[in-house]
């Protein structure tokens, strides 16, 4: 292993400790009820965690993308109800890569895909119009970033949230996924740096979700092992029954698999182009989430179906993240076309070499 | 339990390239009927050629004819062989596990006698574990070795002994002292037994498709000299468990259908693929990439001196089920009445997968047993 492939252990330790303190069952539940979690966000933001991997010159916290994704993995692990990815490696990244100021508060970003938002350039301004769906945490954001493709250029519009109409909507975990309407909002024109375009943003979004999902699946698996060792039926812990062991093993496998693919994709993304790894990581994580959620819920019995037990903080977030930045169909189709284009002789070299084979 | 991501070094990538060039020259596509993973044809000439390159018993020390290479180097050679469908059957067991067992537990004399010829690709080994009444409950084996002067007299039966009719030796797990109440793991020992020994009878048990892999091996007063006891008397269970860690979690547990999928892509070349078929290729390579990374990290862990039995059980349980899932997805999607004697190689391979892959989650420890091994190592929430 070379140095560029290692996470700073201090980042892991500090983020894990902080999130353990500020994110408990009650605070996550309260965030769902109110649609915001200012105490959690403020404590998290105070450390500079959201802006890791963005240069200090650009207003970020410095550090590597690998460290930023490790923090996201832990955000997923603790089911922290905060827009960490949007403020940092997605929105913050787009702002920094278009020479725009990072706000002190929350940044969110309009996920591209099926959004009906357009922009038109006139002079040194861009006018943004349209209705964006499922914008994470828009209601508490200071700025809303809209990446737009206009005449072969990628324009990054940074919009004051006060200039938009925001309808509160939620995802399956009760987290804000608001509808944002832009009515001829004019902002200064900012062009993205070379290599930063809607496609790169799509992959980056998928990478953020793979990291969050890896954390959440691991926590789900650990909760399940603990619960089934505590829960006694027929005079012994239910974890001793072979039929239950199957669920424990399947959950642990998918936790290991999701973490492996997320960390491998993170390592490659921190070095350069990692389209194969990111696409494969998101697809594998999507499918792992589906299998692990089923196994972990089953092993918990009725208790896992209640609001008072924390499994749902993880399982419901996973249902949402699975569909964000690329469903199973989108990524399997993208990867399948690559495989078919490479051809039979290159199929295994693709499995072992990934993006290195494609470059 | 932690699977740490790892990647191949420059030197390891060169080895990978070397193996690919060797295979392209020895077995160009179209020149051979690919095998389905570890259930590969025995081709002693091929094994000898691999051995010339130093790729058989490669992780064994040079002193004993090996190449002092790592578990990761062996992983690289094995994955390339399996994905190519190469005929690695002759040296398979010796290379994967028996060489390690003899190195780790054997005497100097045994090492000298067996390891160099294993590394030359000459000796073929079988595995003597299961018995008619002892499968998953392996510690209940009852084949007895009784004291004689300078050796042991064996009576009993081993079963499912793959390749016993073609191989030279097998390492047997035997009861060298009677079962004690409450401690069935004691009193077991491992003995090296010549498959041509007088009194040893080998009878075929035809595989469900008529092919001959399995045998029943019966011992009638078979004499085995003291010098063939591997390790310490009574330590057979422990040694056998260590052996299992080598047997599990490697590429042989998840690559078996690869050559079939590759052949589908080859035969589909130039035709317009349905979206569902394109998506299937994407799905398969993504998961193979993920499972390979897990399996590779287990090999890396072995190189740090650990015996990761929980990790390797977890990977094997997952990998063998994945092999079956791959076949089911192919069957579901490909609108063909495939047959074992079709003109299409893909159809022939698929037919073979369909019929034989139910065994993949059984051989070398059923997935039920693997779950019980793996679940003991699972940790809950950190305190």
CA–CA separation, A22 and A75 (whole Å): 11
Inform me whether the pLDDT recorded for B288 exceeds 70. Answer: yes
CA–CA separation, A177 and A188 (whole Å): 26
Number of Cβ within 10 Å of residue B271's Cβ equals 8
Note the pLDDT tens digit of each residue in A165-218: 999 999 999 999 999 999 999 999 999 999 999 999 999 999 999 999 999 999
Q: Which residues pair with B3 in a beta bridge?
A: none
Mean pLDDT for all residues in chain A: 96
Rounded to an integer, the average pLDDT of A1-21 is 86
Say what the ipTM of the complex is.
0.96
Q: Which of A105-114, A234-243, B193-202, B342-351 has the lowest mean pLDDT?
A: A105-114
Q: Which residue in the set B258, B374, B382 is minimally distant from A249, CB to CB?
A: B374
Please judge whether B318 and A245 are an interchain contact, meaning their C-beta atoms are less than 8 angstroms apart: no
Number of Cβ within 10 Å of residue B225's Cβ equals 13
Task: Confirm if A321 and A289 have CB atoms less than 8 A apart.
Answer: yes
Give every CB contact of residue B32 below 8 A, 6+ residues apart in sequence. B85, B87
pLDDT for A55 equals 95
Q: Are strands A177-188 and B169-175 parallel, antiparallel or unpaired?
A: unpaired
Please judge whether B285 and A339 are an interchain contact, meaning their C-beta atoms are less than 8 angstroms apart: yes
If pLDDT is split at 50, 70 and 90, which confidence band does A2 have?
Answer: low
Percent of chain B with pLDDT over 70: 100
- DSSP per-residue string spanning B237-300: HHHHHHHHHHHSSSGGGT-TTHHHHHHHHHHHTTSPPPHHHHHHHHHHHHHHHHHHHHHHHHHH
- DSSP per-residue string spanning B299-354: HHHHHTT---HHHHHHHHHHHHHHHHHHHHHHHHH------TT-S-HHHHHHHHHH
CA–CA separation, A304 and A297 (whole Å): 6
**Å from A167 to nearest chain B CA?**
36
Inform me whether the pLDDT recorded for A359 exceeds 90. Answer: no
pLDDT for B243 equals 79
Q: In chain B, where does the domain assigned CATH 2.40.110.10 lie?
A: 127-234
For residue B174, the SS3 value is: strand
Note the pLDDT tens digit of each residue in B127-162: 999 999 999 999 999 999 999 999 999 999 999 999
Please judge whether B379 and A222 are an interchain contact, meaning their C-beta atoms are less than 8 angstroms apart: yes
Q: In chain B, where does the domain assigned CATH 1.10.540.10 lie?
A: 10-123
If pLDDT is split at 50, 70 and 90, which confidence band does A4 have?
Answer: low
Tell me, rounded to whole angstroms, the distance of Cα A255 from its chain centroid. Answer: 16
Tell me, rounded to whole angstroms, the distance of Cα B53 from its chain centroid. Answer: 21
Inform me whether the pLDDT recorded for A1 exceeds 60. Answer: no
Task: Confirm if B349 and B263 have CB atoms less than 8 A apart.
Answer: yes
If pLDDT is split at 50, 70 and 90, which confidence band does B336 have?
Answer: confident
Of residues B133 and A115, which shows the higher confidence score?
Answer: B133
Please judge whether B372 and A242 are an interchain contact, meaning their C-beta atoms are less than 8 angstroms apart: yes
Angle at B367 between CA B366 and CA B369, to 5 degrees: 70
Please judge whether B265 and A347 are an interchain contact, meaning their C-beta atoms are less than 8 angstroms apart: yes
For residue B73, the SS3 value is: helix
Q: Which of B136, B254, B286 to mutate to test the interface with A (most CBs of A within 10 A)?
A: B286
All domains of chain A, ordered by start, with CATH? Answer: 3-188 (2.40.110.10), 198-358 (1.20.140.10)
pLDDT for B236 equals 95
Q: Which of A78, A280, A289, A331 to mutate to test the interface with B (most CBs of B within 10 A)?
A: A280
Chains A, B: CB pairs < 8 Å: 151
Residue holding tokens 């100097």? B108
The CATH number of the structural domain formed by B10-123 is 1.10.540.10
Domain B248-376 is of which CATH architecture?
Answer: Up-down Bundle (1.20)
If pLDDT is split at 50, 70 and 90, which confidence band does A113 have?
Answer: low
Q: Which residue in the set A225, A264, A334 is minimally distant from B282, CB to CB?
A: A334
Mean pLDDT for all residues in chain B: 95
If pLDDT is split at 50, 70 and 90, which confidence band does B329 have?
Answer: very high
CA–CA separation, B182 and A11 (whole Å): 50
Rounded to an integer, the average pLDDT of A223-241 is 97
User: Among the CATH numbers 3.40.50.300, 3.30.70.260, 3.10.150.10, 2.40.110.10, which is that of B127-234?
Assistant: 2.40.110.10
Q: Which residue in the set A5, A339, A352 is minimally distant from B282, CB to CB?
A: A339
Taking Cα atoms as reference points, which of A284, A249, A287, A250 lies closest to residue A265?
A284
Token pair in block for residue B113? 């006698």
pLDDT for A20 equals 97
Inform me whether the pLDDT recorded for A244 exceeds 90. Answer: yes
Please judge whether B282 and A337 are an interchain contact, meaning their C-beta atoms are less than 8 angstroms apart: yes
Note the pLDDT tens digit of each residue in A309-333: 999 999 999 999 999 999 999 999 9
CA–CA separation, B137 and B128 (whole Å): 14
3-state secondary structure B46-60: HHHHHHHCCCCCCCC
Q: Which of A214, A216, A242, A249 to mutate to test the interface with B (most CBs of B within 10 A)?
A: A249
Q: Which residue in the set B265, B273, B282 is minimally distant from A344, CB to CB?
A: B265
3-state secondary structure chain A: CCHHHCCCHHHHHHHHHHHHHHCCHHHHHHHHHHCCCHHHHHHHHHCCHHHECCCHHHCCCECCHHHHHHHHHHHHHCCCCCCHHHHHHHHHHHHHCCCCCCCCCCEEECCCCCCEEEEEEECCEEEEEEEEEEEECHHHCCEEEEEEEECCEEEEEEEEHHHCEEECCECCCCCEEEEEEEEEEEEECCECCCCCCHHHHHHHHHHHHHHHHHHHHHHHHHHHHHHHHHCEECCEEHHHCHHHHHHHHHHHHHHHHHHHHHHHHHHHHHHCCCHHHHHHHHHHHHHHHHHHHHHHHHHHHHHHHCCCCCHHHHHHHHHHHHHCCCCHHHHHHHHHHHHHHHCHHHHHHHHHHCHHHHC
Q: Are strands B169-175 and B125-128 parallel, antiparallel or unpaired?
A: parallel
Percent of chain A with pLDDT over 90: 96
Q: How many residues does chain A have?
A: 359
Inform me whether the pLDDT recorded for A98 exceeds 60. Answer: yes
Give B-chain residues touching A345 at CB under 8 angstroms: 29
Q: Which residue in the set A227, A229, A339 is minimally distant from B281, CB to CB?
A: A339
Please judge whether B380 and A248 are an interchain contact, meaning their C-beta atoms are less than 8 angstroms apart: no
Q: In chain B, where does the domain assigned CATH 1.20.140.10 lie?
A: 248-376
Q: Which of A3-12, B93-102, B193-202, B273-282 has the lowest mean pLDDT?
A: A3-12
**Å from A264 to nearest chain B CA?**
6
- DSSP per-residue string spanning B9-20: -HHHHHHHHHHH
Rounded to an integer, the average pLDDT of B14-21 is 98
């Amino acid at each position: 292993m070379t140095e560029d492939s290692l996470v700073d252990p201090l980042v892991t330790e500090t983020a894990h400790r902080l999130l353990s303190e500020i994110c408990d069952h009650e605070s996550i539940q309260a965030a769902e009820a109110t649609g915001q979690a200012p105490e959690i966000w403020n404590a998290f933001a105070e450390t500079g965690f959201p802006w890791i991997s963005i240069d200090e010159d650009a207003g970020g916290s410095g550090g590597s993308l690998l460290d930023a994704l490790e923090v996201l993995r832990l955000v997923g692990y603790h089911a922290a109800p905060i827009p960490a990815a949007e403020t940092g490696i997605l929105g913050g990244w787009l702002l920094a890569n278009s020479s725009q100021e990072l706000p002190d508060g929350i940044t969110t970003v309009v996920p591209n895909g099926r959004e009906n938002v357009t922009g038109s350039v006139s002079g040194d301004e861009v006018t943004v119009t349209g209705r964006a769906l499922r914008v994470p945490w828009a209601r508490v954001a200071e700025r809303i970033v809209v990446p737009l493709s206009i005449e072969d250029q990628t324009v990054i519009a940074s919009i004051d949230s006060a200039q938009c109409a925001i309808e509160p909507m939620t995802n399956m975990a009760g987290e804000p996924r608001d509808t944002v309407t832009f009515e001829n909002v004019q902002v200064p024109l900012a062009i993205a740096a070379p290599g930063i375009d809607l496609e790169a943003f799509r992959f980056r979004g998928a990478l953020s979700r793979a990291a969050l999902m890896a954390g959440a699946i691991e926590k789900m698996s650990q909760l399940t092992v603990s619960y089934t060792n505590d829960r006694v039926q027929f005079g012994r812990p239910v974890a001793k029954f072979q039929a239950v062991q199957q669920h424990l093993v399947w959950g642990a496998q998918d936790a290991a698999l999701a973490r492996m693919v997320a960390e491998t994709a993170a390592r490659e993304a921190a070095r350069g182009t990692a389209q194969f790894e990111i696409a494969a990581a998101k697809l594998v994580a999507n499918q792992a989430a589906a299998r692990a959620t089923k196994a972990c819920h089953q092993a918990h019995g009725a208790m896992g179906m209640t609001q008072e037990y924390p499994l749902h903080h993880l399982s419901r977030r996973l249902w949402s993240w699975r569909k964000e930045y690329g469903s199973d169909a989108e990524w399997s189709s993208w990867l399948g076309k690559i495989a078919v284009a490479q051809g039979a002789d290159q199929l295994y070299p693709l499995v072992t070499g990934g993006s290195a084979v494609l470059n | 339990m932690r699977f740490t991501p790892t990647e191949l070094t420059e030197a390891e990538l060169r080895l990978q390239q070397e193996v690919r060039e060797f295979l392209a020259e020895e077995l160009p596509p179209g020149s051979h009927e690919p095998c389905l993973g570890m259930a590969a044809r025995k081709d002693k000439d091929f094994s000898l050629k691999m051995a010339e390159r130093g790729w058989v018993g490669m992780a064994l020390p040079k002193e004993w004819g090996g190449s002092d290479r790592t578990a990761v180097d062996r992983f690289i050679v094995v994955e390339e062989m399996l994905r190519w469908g190469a005929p690695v059957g002759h040296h398979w067991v010796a290379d994967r596990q028996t060489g390690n067992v003899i190195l780790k537990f054997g005497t100097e004399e045994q090492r000298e006698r067996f390891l160099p010829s294993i590394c030359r690709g000459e000796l073929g080994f079988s595995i003597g574990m299961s018995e008619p009444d002892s499968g998953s409950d392996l510690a209940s084996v009852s084949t007895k070795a009784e004291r004689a002067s300078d050796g042991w007299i064996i009576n009993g039966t081993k079963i499912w002994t793959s390749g016993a009719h073609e191989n030279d030796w097998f390492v047997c797990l035997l009861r060298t002292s009677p079962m004690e109440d409450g401690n069935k793991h004691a009193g077991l020992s491992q003995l090296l037994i010549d498959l041509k020994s007088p009194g040893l009878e080998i009878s075929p048990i035809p595989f469900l498709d008529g092919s001959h892999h399995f045998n029943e091996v019966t011992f009638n007063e078979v004499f085995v000299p003291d010098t063939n006891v591997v390790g310490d008397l009574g330590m057979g269970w422990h040694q056998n468990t260590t052996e299992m860690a080598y047997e599990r979690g490697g590429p042989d547990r998840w690559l078996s259908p690869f050559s079939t999928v590759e052949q589908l892509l080859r035969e589909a070349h130039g035709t317009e693929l349905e979206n569902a078929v394109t998506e299937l290729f994407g799905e398969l390579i993504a998961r193979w990439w993920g499972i390979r990374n897990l399996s590779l990290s287990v090999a890396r862990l072995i190189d740090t001196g650990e015996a990761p039995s929980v990790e390797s059980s977890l990977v094997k349980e997952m990998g063998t089920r994945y092999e079956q899932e791959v076949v089911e997805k192919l069957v579901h999607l490909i609108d063909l009445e495939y047959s074992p004697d079709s003109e299409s190689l893909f159809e022939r391979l698929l037919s073979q997968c369909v019929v034989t892959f139910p065994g993949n989650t059984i051989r070398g420890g059923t997935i039920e047993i693997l779950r019980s091994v793996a679940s003991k190592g699972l940790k809950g929430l950190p305190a």
